[in-house]
Amino acid sequence: EGLAWLKQVLDSDEAIEAKLRAKGLYWMAILANQQGDYRAAERSLGMSLAISQQAQDRYATGLALNALGVVANAQGEHDRARQWYTEGLALYRDLGDQERIATLLNNLGFTKLIQHEYAQARELLEESLQLSNALEDAQGKAFGLNNLGLVALRMNDLERAQSMLRDSLAQFWQLRDQRNCAEALEGLAELAVAQGHALRAAQLLAAASALRMGVGAVRNAYEQHQYLAIQAAISANLEAPDLALATIPGQGMSLEQAARYALGEGEWTS
């Protein structure tokens, strides 16, 4: 509904100032991305970027570049995402915008994680986390911890992965960020499989899916790939009846119950 209204306003009022139109197109793209309409998001961001560059609005240009990277990653176009993020990072370093630098470092680091470039990913993510801590940016810190936890997990440093992934979940829970709590739970489910706890992994993955459904958070291409990989690993370690029984309590968990269970503050009881 909000997306349709915004599109109608932008299409009907030619007198809208260029910078305001660029901002409207940007937010229209953000809404489209959240709904999984990546092509529409990309079109709107392309127009927003062109307007911002023509208006020499470097801040808005950086926002569009970052968002284009997010949309490219969502479609599995990771090389393109890296290009957008790298350009945006250079721009914000030049502007000295520490908060945006932290965001671009995190996003670029996450992309390198996806592409299995773990050493480079860790370097970028550690710089991002350091900035987020200095800025007292709780959400930025949570993203950094989550992604560094995934790097540690993929490098088989399970102890470090557990510490960081749990800290990330605790931060997102404190922020009541249900979507990103779900993503943190998925990371912890992957960790549980690696630790040999398939039953726990099944419950965490089911809880994550329920939380996603509660806020309409659609998995993008990469997230769906990871979800299926975790699910396959769980299935390889559990008999079908045990898997079915394990998912039932996970599906019924509230945000608080899922977070407490994942953080080891108590076992789930039906």
Do 212 and 145 lie in one domain? The reply is no
The answer to whether the beta carbons of residues 131 and 105 sit under 8 Å apart is yes
Sign of the Cα torsion 121, 89, 65, 86 reads: negative
Q: Which domain holds residue 207?
A: 190-265
215-259 pLDDT, tens per residue? Answer: 989 899 899 999 999 999 999 999 988 888 889 888 999 999 999
The answer to whether the beta carbons of residues 26 and 44 sit under 8 Å apart is yes
232-241 pLDDT, tens per residue? Answer: 999 999 998 8
- 83 lies in some domain: no
- 85 lies in some domain: no
pLDDT score recorded for residue 236: 95
Do 47 and 107 lie in one domain? The reply is no
Burial of 12 (0-12, 13-18, 19+ CB in 10 A): exposed
Mean pLDDT for the stretch of residues 204-215: 96
**CATH code, domain with 153:** 1.25.40.10
Domain count for the chain: 3
Do 50 and 101 lie in one domain? The reply is no
Do 170 and 194 lie in one domain? The reply is no
3-state secondary structure of 263: coil
pTM above 0.85, yes or no: yes
| Maximum pairwise Cα distance, the chain | 63
Do 106 and 165 lie in one domain? The reply is yes
Do 59 and 100 lie in one domain? The reply is no
Confidence grade of residue 267 (pLDDT, cut at 50, 70, 90): low
Do 161 and 223 lie in one domain? The reply is no
pLDDT score recorded for residue 1: 53
Q: Mean pLDDT, the chain, as a whole number?
A: 92
Do 117 and 162 lie in one domain? The reply is yes
Q: How far is CA 205 from CA 7, 88, 111, 201, in A?
A: 36, 34, 23, 6
Do 133 and 158 lie in one domain? The reply is yes
